Amino acid sequence: MTDKDRRVILGASLGTIFEFYDFFLIGLLATEIAKTFFSGVNPTAGFIFTLLGFAAGFMLRPFGAIIFGRLGDLVGRKYTFLVTIMLMGLSTFVIGLLPAYATIGIAAPVGFIGMRMLQGLALGGEFGGAMIYVAEHAPPGKRAAWTAWVILTAALGFLLAVAVIIPLRLSIGTDAFTLWGWRIPFVISIVLLGISLWIRLRLDESPEFNRMKAEGRASKAPLSETFKNWSNVKLILVGALCILPAQAVIWYTGQFYSLFFLTKVLRVENLTANYMLIAATIITTPLYVVFGSLSDKIGRRRVYVTGYLLAALLTIPIFKGMTHYANPALERAQLAAPITIIAAPEDCSVQFNPLGTSKFTSSCDVVTDALAKLGLNYGTQNSASASVAQVKIGDRLIRGYAAGATDAVAEKGRFDAELKAALNDNKYPLGAAASEDINAPVIVLLLSVLLSFGTITFAPTTTSLLEMFPSRIRYTAMSFPYHMSAAWFGGFLPATAFAIVAATGNIYSGLYYPVCISAGCMVLSLIFARETKDIDISRG
């Protein structure tokens, strides 16, 4: 690898690190953003609207892929991802300067959502462009190894974000950070933007793109050529529905859902959980290059299908292991005194209320809601003769109540007291996980195994995707299916998994979403996906 080659990889990767840094800030600072821009509504609704703003960025990514993919196929890779990084950097900087709801009213949340949409558009054009730019510089037999350096920037962007946020929060204190300190990570992104632009302006255009232009092979209508040609559409469908969904859910399960599970279900203190995830991310980040190089040697499909198989088999055991080593008291209580709701089936509703508007009034709904709020694992037992739902904890029965009853206030006090006493008597931990019970080294190991599934699958799948299409339409045809899968399968993973847990009461049931998709994509990839590592990249 020459100095020029290293500069190509550094220029593409460094800019993408900063783009993912910008993107992750929203998720990591959701609580502070909700208090600033959505203070005009109740706190629960404000937090939900902030998460919807985060989701807006995901939803716009496929459209960004179409807009900037077309531009990249028409005018070039280099100039397109110069535009995308400008768009990402400036919108992030503006979020840090936006006045609060208390100052400008409804314009504050509108401005925030608008900037998030611009971020989603930018990332939809950035990541595919950087991948393609590096791949078109890479020599044969090195494409996945080279593009892996761009791929690992997603993990490095997360590390950079927490490396700024955590020390800042600790140094200025929680109150100051909530009031104004959260803005600093957004504002300093303008410096990162300047560095990225300086590096990228020194880069040359992709040699494959220049060769294609010189030979007169460039597409004059990349959108029509991509989406009106059934051969290309079939490849897009194979990528978007057979290969990439599993890669998306595996990565988001490791990087996002694991943190939610540790903090919300196992009640590990937030800073401790972040430290453990940071350690696992640092350990596994080099593996992106390792498995990218392996796919250059033995084939893309062999590597990523193996990753899908491992994820399907081991994801749920890993999360059960985290329960054992993070909150063993909770695990012991669940085994010794399982919780069961005994109720008539027609009395029970699905306990999923993302907007906080549903009213759960039947006795089954009331007791289920109480257990769900405590984050406890429970089962259900249908009893047609049960006029009032009951909660069974071990051998102890607690009678529920209907929220619409005339004595509901008194009944609530009685039920809450009896529930708390039963949980305490059966040694259910109701507070934070005891620090002395947390086996941090083993949890870091489990998280590292979980994150490694993403490293096995990421470089081989995305490199295979860009190798499917000829140079003339590659930017458009590769970016759209990648970001569609990332947004629709990966971006909705937390909400989907939470909905499944809320519907079943089983804290592990949400994991069937990534497990089933991993298993399904493994089978579909073996049937429909072709090996691409030795193809002529100019033809696809």
Percentage of the chain with pLDDT > 70?
A: 93
Predicted pLDDT at 351? 60
Residue 370: pLDDT above 90? no
Tell me the range of 81-95, 102-116, 323-337 where mean pLDDT is highest.
Answer: 323-337
Global pTM? Answer: 0.85
Q: What is the pLDDT of residue 234?
A: 93
Q: What is the DSSP code string of 439-457? A: -HHHHHHHHHHHHHHHHHH
Residue 356: pLDDT over 60:
no
Mean pLDDT of the chain: 85
By the 8 A CB rule, do 386 and 343 touch?
yes
pLDDT digits (tens, 9 = 90+) for 16-25: 777 678 767 8
Residue 75 has pLDDT above 70, yes or no: yes
CA distance 248 to 235: 18
Percentage with pLDDT > 90 across the chain: 35
Is 204 a residue whose pLDDT tops 90? no
3-class secondary structure, 309: helix
More confident residue, 314 or 25: 314
Token digits of residue 481? 């299916």
Q: Which pLDDT belongs to residue 44?
A: 52
Does residue 518 register a pLDDT over 90? yes
The answer on pLDDT for 359 being more than 70 is no
Query: Average of pLDDT values for 140-163?
Result: 87
Q: Is the pLDDT of residue 520 over 60?
A: yes
Q: Which of 106-115, 367-376, 392-401, 491-500 has the lowest mean pLDDT?
A: 491-500
Residue 241: burial class (beta carbons within 10 Å; 0-12, 13-18, 19+): middle
Q: Which of 145, 405, 450 is nearest to 315 (CA)?
A: 450
pLDDT, tens digit, 9 for 90 and up, residues 120-130: 888 777 777 78
Confidence of residue 291 (pLDDT cuts 50, 70, 90): very high
Q: Quick one: tokens of 358?
A: 């549903």
Per-residue pLDDT reduced to its tens digit, 326-350 = 999 999 999 999 999 998 887 777 6
Task: Determine the residue type at 320.
Answer: K
